[in-house]
Structure 1
């Protein structure tokens, strides 16, 4: 039980930041390109309470962490926040601007992973103390959750960000046909998750990204 509580305490902040700032970024970029929907809904904010989904932000990540801790094995930790409302038709150039709105979330996860890597490097270089090991573990958790969310959301499956990026880049007729897959995106993702295909696809990308960070920051 103590191990589970410490695990949840270490992961709580990185998970909440990774998920909520990902969503806030979509709203900010959408406003930049002409859609004020998220702004009018009060969703362009760093306040995580405005973005938290009780199931996706709390129960699902906590459940995965609990199962991993009890089973002594790792799994793909992921979650989601309340989707930021974006009206793509209100963007100045809907098809082209969709790319930037969609890419904003994974890009923020990329930036946060770098920030946690910097913290990991600082903690690793510091004199050993009461807070050194918890800081290292939290920074490592921050790198991990942001790497997972970045890689997961870049999969070209609508309505994931990668799917919307693909729709933006495809010719009009193909883009329209591809966008029709969106209602089936979540079931497809669940099938990939429970068959193990999702892990097979994501782990090499996540491991490669973490290795690159370790080379850049020297840890």
Structure 2
């Protein structure tokens, strides 16, 4: 029980930051390119309560974090984007989609910097808990970034692919979107998703570790 409480206490803040800034980034970039939907619905916000899905943001990540060998999985309430309202819908879709994973990359680097700073002051009372929290921050953001860049609509990577592909192929890929989440959940409850993502996640860990000398 003590280990469970420790895990939750260290992971809670990184999870909230990861999902909040990810979703707010989508809304901010959509507004920049002409779609005011997220702004009008109050979703360009740093208030986590505006983005939390009780099942996807709380229950599912908690279960996956605590399962032995579990692979972190979850989701927030999607930020509403009216792609038709963008000034150049197909082109601007790429920037709106990539904003979320980009925010996770920035946060992973920020947590790595915090880990490095805490590591340089080992005698400080807060060093150990900060390092533990920062470790979770790196892990959570790297996993969310890699997961969301899978080329499967409605994931961000799927929208990036739709933006980059020629119109015919983009239309065919976009037709998968109504079934994309069901496909993802199926992959998540089998070893397949972990097999796809873990090599990419481990590569990102190594690159960040090399960059910060961790």
CA distance in 1, matches of 2:159, 2:64: 27
TM-score, normalised with respect to structure 2: 0.97
Q: Shift in Å at residue 128 of structure 1?
A: 2.2
Greater Cα offset, 115-124 or 45-54: 45-54
Equivalent in the alignment of 1:80? 75
Give how far 1:195 is off.
Answer: 2.3
- Does 2:44 align with 1:44? yes
Instruction: Please report how far the alpha carbon of residue 197 of structure 1 lies from its aligned counterpart in structure 2 after TM superposition.
Output: 1.1
Give runs of aligned pairs for residues 73-152 of structure 1, distance below 5 A: 73-152=68-147
Greater than 6 Å deviation, 4+ residue runs: none
Match of 1:178 among 146, 166, 173: 173
Cα shift at 1:43: 0.6
Distance 2:93 2:169 in 1: 16
Q: Take 2:205 and 2:65, find their aligned partners in 1: how far apart are those partners?
A: 20
Q: CA RMSD in A?
A: 1.0
- Aligned counterpart in structure 2 of residue 202 of structure 1, from 197, 208, 212: 197
Q: Which residue of 2 aligns with 1:4?
A: 4
Matched residue SS, 1:155: coil
Q: How many pairs were matched up? A: 214
Rounded Cα–Cα distance in structure 2 between residues aligned with 1:191 and 1:61: 16
Question: 1:49 Cα shift?
Answer: 1.3
Is contact 1:88–1:94 with CA below 8 Å preserved after alignment?
Answer: yes
1:9-28 matches, cutoff 5 A: 9-28=9-28
Q: In the TM superposition, what is the alpha-carbon distance from 1:115 to its structure 2 partner? A: 0.2
Q: Could you tell me how far 1:192 is from its partner in structure 2?
A: 1.6
Gaps of 5+ in 2: none
1:78–1:145 CA contact under 8 A, matched in 2: no
For structure 1, the residue ranges without an aligned partner over 5 or more in a row are: 68-72
Aligned to 1:29: 29
Q: 3-state DSSP class of the match of 2:75? A: coil
Helix, strand or coil: the match of 1:75?
A: coil
Q: Secondary structure at the match of 1:112?
A: helix
